[in-house]
Structure 1
């Protein structure tokens, strides 16, 4: 399929090519990255789930200053797991014991217990509606009907992620505009919301046609897609666009560290694992000392977002020391096939491969 041949998804999104940049949390998204993808005819995205509500509007403004094309802001509908909204002082101390040796190793003081471990989705989505991005994409659930209705009233397109057919059907019934069918090959978090992520591990090859055949809205395929061949395969399976995550994360425009970026182009990228050790939710990244050592202490993990909060206090010292053994190294299973280090080079390659099909 030529990238210049339009379809319902491209018309809805207002983009030229069936290429979506996956959203990244934790400072890995940048306005520069989202705008670069959008300016070249794809859909740039910004993962905003870790931002305070008052920052969402500023991010949208900064992206708009760099592009007049459509872009997406992404939030997590579910902002905590069971037991993850608060801790007693005793439980805080108990959770800290898992992290204490690593804090000491890097010379990091024990943090004080915060009032909250994560921003409330209700507050973030209110700010997002006020910022009025062209597209609101979301993971880990279905927003309340009132939120979806307000998006329709304001002309904000909605795109929800599904890891199973049941989740796709729930999103379809709720009236979202597009559905992202995300296979377990993808890097980063598994955004399951109807069953445990470990019980929702469908591959992109199986999930995409199952969903495309059964929902009313256009489907975007995600997971294990890193080049034009992958996009063509997704289109053949019934998707109308493909979402690429790790391929864009590896570009210099992303917010990841140089050390992580270099590992994405190394032999280390051949070895990924699904782990809850970084945030308390299942996610795919490269194996390292943290994933291996904490794998033997799973019962000590705190629920999301508390696990990630403790690790986030360790990350600045680890990054400053050039350490990649104690930080998340998100990477999908197709990472060894990455070739491009800038958005223009990647987009040019993808578009040429699609044009040749």
Structure 2
């Protein structure tokens, strides 16, 4: 039951994928340990320069001979006006004052052409370094990019939050689709349906996607243990992608304050916010989210808002102040543990096998 078309395609022992968490969480040690323990380690390369990505890929190759992958953000067109920036800074400047930061009016904002060029350079790195697996969030790359990656024999994974998005991934030539339930921590991977329409729970989403696509389906959102893995498999998924469970592992690069926040959180403490980045994401409620809640509709879209809050997030981390950090987490923080990657995967598989053998009786 735990070996299937997906594990064969990815050449992994267990149907467990470590979610690609951008922003320094997916250290080389974390990615390599997941792959060495029989799962699939993933680099969250969304915010990395092509040079940084190449360096990390080479570092991981020194630490594991097993397959690992890279996740990239698909760039989307965005527009921003000076008024939007001024209005956002009006709300953000009082927080900068609390953190003793310089108040800002002018920002070097992201330019779509630059963002797109970086994405194409990242794709080149993936091909040149012969990374076996590449996954995408926030959309599907162009048919040209997909064709190039396919020519290099790279296995492609897409993200979907609805059946329509999953079908679109399959039609585009994506090999495996990760379906992200609304329980998932961090940014939503939706790219067709509206924010409200794409908030489907994982138990509802898996069987509906499985009935409508023929490519392997991977379940993501709130899965932390062998029970979650087996439930996903029974619903038709061929594997799971787990973020929060790996985030609190010893090898993760998450800030110690961030790890502690998850380890001490309850299931009712996570909320959706777009205040940090301009894109909806699930995280642990803190002072920043509460203070910004009423202004959320006025904030510019991703990646503009993400750039505007960067100084606030970085300074909070330096000051060990969780009030203004983005503490992304899924809905199952009570199941999070501080442990090694090896221990996490060993426990998941032991529990899954035990459940499988009980059912066989």
Output the TM-score relative to the length of structure 2: 0.92
Name 2:295's counterpart in structure 1. 297
Per the TM alignment, residue 270 of structure 1 is displaced from its structure 2 partner at its CA by: 3.8
Name 1:247's counterpart in structure 2. 245
Identify if the C-alpha distance between structure 1 residues 269 and 207 changes in structure 2 by more than 3 Å, giving closer, same or farther: closer
Identify if the C-alpha distance between structure 1 residues 355 and 299 changes in structure 2 by more than 3 Å, giving closer, same or farther: closer
Distance in 1, matches of 2:70 and 2:46, equals 9
Is 1:105–2:98 an aligned residue pair? yes
Distance in 2, matches of 1:288 and 1:94, equals 22
Name 1:12's counterpart in structure 2. 9
1:325 partner SS: helix
Give the stretch that moved more between structures: 333-342 or 13-22: 333-342
Give the stretch that moved more between structures: 139-148 or 311-320: 311-320
Of residues 37, 40, 48 in structure 2, which corresponds to 1:40? Answer: 37
Name 2:79's counterpart in structure 1. 83
1:270–1:336: 8 Å Cα contact kept in structure 2? Answer: no
Distance in 1, matches of 2:84 and 2:67, equals 45
1:1-357 matches, within 5 Å, as 1=1, 3=2, 6-79=3-76, 82-84=78-80, 87-88=81-82, 91-110=84-103, 112-114=106-108, 116=110, 119-120=115-116, 121-268=119-266, 270-356=268-354, 357=356
Distance in 2, matches of 1:79 and 1:254, equals 29
Per the TM alignment, residue 284 of structure 1 is displaced from its structure 2 partner at its CA by: 0.4
Distance in 2, matches of 1:113 and 1:137, equals 31
1:340–1:346: 8 Å Cα contact kept in structure 2? Answer: no
2:121 partner SS: helix
Paired residue total: 350
Distance in 2, matches of 1:133 and 1:79, equals 24
Aligned-pair RMSD on alpha carbons?
A: 1.7
Give the stretch that moved more between structures: 104-113 or 167-176: 104-113
1:202 partner SS: coil
Per the TM alignment, residue 72 of structure 1 is displaced from its structure 2 partner at its CA by: 1.1
1:268–1:286: 8 Å Cα contact kept in structure 2? Answer: no
Give the stretch that moved more between structures: 38-47 or 141-150: 141-150
Distance in 2, matches of 1:196 and 1:267, equals 29
Distance in 2, matches of 1:301 and 1:310, equals 10
1:200 partner SS: coil
Name 2:359's counterpart in structure 1. none
Unpaired segments of 5 or more residues in structure 1?
none
Distance in 1, matches of 2:133 and 2:175, equals 10
Output the TM-score relative to the length of structure 1: 0.93
